[in-house]
Amino acid sequence: MNPYIITAAGSYLAGSIPFGYLLVRLVRGEDIRQSGSGNIGATNVSRKSPGLGLLTLLLDALKGLIPVILASRAFSGTEGLQLGALAALAAIVGHLFPVWLKFRGGKGVATGLGAWLGYAPKSVLVMVFVFVVMVAVFRYISLGSITAAAIFPLAARWLGDDHGLPLVLSCMAVSSLLIIVKHGPNIRRLMAGTETKFRQGSK
């Protein structure tokens, strides 16, 4: 079977594991989608339990990182590079649109961070730096996430983390766009001046 199809399908399934939902359901017997922002990601889970939130963050990052490592190492050369990038995008798509939860998932920040950390660490460091600066200056976690996602493919192109491959850069750009789109409600609140600042809680 085509390795691109196998990589995309396997990475999507890995990314679609709703760790935040499962942890809260197993430990507290509650549906995380019925509280806070209704999101299954680490930020909303941490409102229920900081410990579970931290664990969700770690697991969501790992479900992005592991498929990328496996895909990149299964093949060499250009094909390995392209499959690694495809694995990153597919894992992020899985988190954003998990088949197990009727395609209603999280915002993809942790999974995206983990996925691209295994592929483009220099660009991820730039993204993290931008995130920290934006949150420190403006006190909005959502704004930091959106800005970091937007800067990522530009940093990758500048630093050569895209390896000069159009498919790789496309996967990076699409993953960033999807994360930004998923922050649509946050963007509307930012524009309306009603978004919650970091010192008051999380986004």
* pLDDT above 50 for 202: no
pLDDT of residue 37: 84
Q: With cut-offs at 50, 70 and 90, classify the pLDDT of residue 198.
A: confident
Q: What is the pTM of this model?
A: 0.94
Looking at residue 51, its pLDDT comes to 96
The pLDDT of 94-102, averaged and rounded, is 97
Average pLDDT over residues 19-34: 96
Query: Residues 39-51: pLDDT tens digits?
Result: 999 989 998 999 9
Question: 29 and 61 in contact (C-beta within 8 Å)?
Answer: no
